[in-house]
Amino acid sequence: MSRYKDAVYGLCLGFLRNRADAEDLTHDAFIRAYDNLRRYHLDKRFSTWIFTIAANLCRNRLRYRRNHPVVEPPTHLAGGTDPANIIAKEDRQKRVQDSLNSLPYAYRAPLVLRFYNDLSYREIGEILAIPEGTVKTRIHRAKAMLKGLIEKDVMQHETG
Amino acid sequence: MRPDEIEEVLRDTLRHEVAEATPRLADLEERIVAELGDRLPRLRFVDWMRSLVASTQSGRVGQLAVLGATAAVFLIVGMVITQDRSGGSILTPTFAPTVASHTSQEVLFVVPALDAERVAVVGDFNAWEETPLSDENEDGIWTASIPLDPGRYEYAFVIDGRWWGQDPSADEYVRTFGQYSSVRYVGGGGDGV
């Protein structure tokens, strides 16, 4: 598989939490990369460059969504929904997915770039146009928020 | 839940989501290549892509087809990176060596070869001896910057021992003894690179 395709798609999916949008924007990111090739410098990693394009597209799409809300039924991106059929790992993944959906974009984006795209703090800062220190802080807080959301979900599941 | 456990489950979850979507992405390269190919009919884009796949000898045809398509996208990337031309000079090079400056300039050769172990460029500027391209950050984009005086140059890439004569960033192609080579015009009154 192409490393770029999966990496860009994973970024878009992580940022947007919507498969159709992620697919559209992966396509658009590669086309946009072509359209903006003259801005690409070889001293920059190609991956960082295309991730920046994808991240900007995602941010614009999220802004558009905010101004043009569409009521969609809540869906899980993976796994079954019947607790009887869910193995522990899938159950845990579903909880993470739900929690990721609830996490604000400003915290979700660096988390995805760090733990899906395996990027350094510096690269994440470059892509999201924020200082490296802010990246570290947001990732730290995002993990704490995610942990809180997951634990809350577990408690609700157990008491409900 | 421990902090490192959060990281692990986050990685697992995101990778799982992408893996689940893989079938939906099967034709993504084709769509991208088709759209870009339509914009660049001069380059015989799809033919190039097919040649990339067909020339591969290994049995991983399906995987390489995907890689080939993706590589085609990135060859376009490489192509435009190397272009620093104005007007219609790509189609109608008007190189005029007698009036050109004789100052050599760095000419960038770029080729994506995602799985390659060794990439080189050969041409009349190096007596058809291999000048290696490098991929220092291992992103599959191989480059070499070679100082060339203004002039017309024939060249080809050699990727893991295979001849790649049709560089889409070339100004034109020539066929000699049944084999294509690319031609690049350097300098010469603002034409070429």
Q: Is A86 on the interface with B (CB under 8 A)?
A: no
Task: Enumerate residues 135 to 154 of chain A having a beta carbon within 8 A of any beta carbon in chain B.
Answer: 143, 146-147, 150-151
Cα–Cα distance measured from residue B34 to residue B46, given in angstroms and rounded to the nearest whole number: 8
Number of Cβ within 10 Å of residue B59's Cβ equals 8
Give ipTM to 2 decimals. 0.80
Cα–Cα distance measured from residue B180 to residue B157, given in angstroms and rounded to the nearest whole number: 11
Residue B81 tokens read as 């990176």
Cα–Cα distance measured from residue B74 to residue B115, given in angstroms and rounded to the nearest whole number: 13
CA distance B179 to chain A (A): 29
pTM of the model: 0.58
Residue B153 tokens read as 């140059």
Give the model's confidence band at A149: pLDDT under 50 very low, under 70 low, under 90 confident, else very high. confident
Highest mean pLDDT pick, A3-17, B2-16, B61-75: A3-17
Per residue in A81-136, pLDDT tens?
555 544 576 777 888 888 898 899 999 999 999 999 999 999 999 999 999 999 99
Query: What does the pLDDT read at residue B189?
Result: 47
Give the model's confidence band at B28: pLDDT under 50 very low, under 70 low, under 90 confident, else very high. confident
pLDDT at residue A38 greater than cutoff 90: no
pLDDT at residue B190 greater than cutoff 90: no
Domains along chain A?
A: 1-72 (1.10.1740.10), 80-160 (1.10.10.10)
For chain B, strand residue ranges (E) read 105-112, 119-123, 131-132, 141-148, 151-159, 162-164, 172-176, 179-186
pLDDT at residue B114 greater than cutoff 60: yes
Assign domain B84-186 one CATH number from 2.70.98.90, 2.60.40.10, 3.40.50.300, 2.120.10.10: 2.60.40.10
The domain locations on chain B are 3-81, 84-186
Query: What does the pLDDT read at residue B188?
Result: 61
